[in-house]
Amino acid sequence: MAHCGRCGAVLGEGKKFCGGCGAPVVVTAAPVPPVTVPGGKSAAIPVMWVAGAIAVLALMGAGTWLAYPVLLKRFRPETPVVTAPVQPPVAEVVKEPEAPGPGPSVQPPETVAPPVDRGDGGREAEARRNAERLAAERAASERAAAERAAAERAAAERAAQERMAAERAAAERLAQERVAAERLARERAEQARLAREAEEKQQAARRAAVPVGPRSGVLTWQGRLVKGEVVTITGTSASTGEVSGVALPGGAVLLQSGSGCTVSSAPVPSSGFKQFSFRCKQAGAVTAEFQWNKP
With beta carbons less than 8 A apart as the criterion, state whether 219 and 248 touch: yes
Strands in 261-265's sheet, in edge-to-edge order, are 237-238, 230-234, 275-280, 261-265
Cα dihedral sign, 213-217-222-227? positive
Does position 48 have pLDDT exceeding 80, yes or no? Answer: no
Look at residue 28 in the predicted model and tell me its pLDDT.
58
Look at residue 116 in the predicted model and tell me its pLDDT.
46
The pLDDT tens digits of the residues spanning 19-42 come to 777 777 765 555 555 555 455 444
**Confidence class for position 282, pLDDT limits 50, 70, 90:** confident
The pLDDT tens digits of the residues spanning 208-241 come to 665 567 888 888 988 988 888 899 999 888 988 8
Look at residue 93 in the predicted model and tell me its pLDDT.
45
Query: Domain residues of the chain, as ranges?
Result: 1-35+42-78, 129-209, 216-293
In this prediction the pTM is 0.31
Mean pLDDT (the chain) is: 77
Q: Tell me what the mean pLDDT of segment 189-201 comes to.
A: 94
Plot region of 216 (φ>0 → left; ψ -120 to 50 → alpha; else → beta): beta
Look at residue 3 in the predicted model and tell me its pLDDT.
75
**Confidence class for position 90, pLDDT limits 50, 70, 90:** very low
Cα separation of 218 and 50, whole Å? 153
Look at residue 94 in the predicted model and tell me its pLDDT.
46
Cα separation of 90 and 239, whole Å? 139
SS (H, E, C) the chain: CCECCCCCCECCCCCCECCCCCCECCCCCCCCCCEECCCCCEEHHHHHHHHHHHHHHHHHHHHHHHHHHHHHHHHCCCCCCCCCCCCCCCCCCCCCCCCCCCCCCCCCCCCCCCCCCCCCHHHHHHHHHHHHHHHHHHHHHHHHHHHHHHHHHHHHHHHHHHHHHHHHHHHHHHHHHHHHHHHHHHHHHHHHHHHHHHHHHHHHHHHHHCCCCCCEEEEEEEEEECCCCEEEEECCEECCCEEEECCCCCCCCEEEECCCEEEEECCCHHHCCCEEEEEECCCEEEEEEEEEECC
User: Which residues, 6+ apart, have CB-to-CB distance to 21 below 8 Å?
Assistant: 4, 6, 7, 9, 119
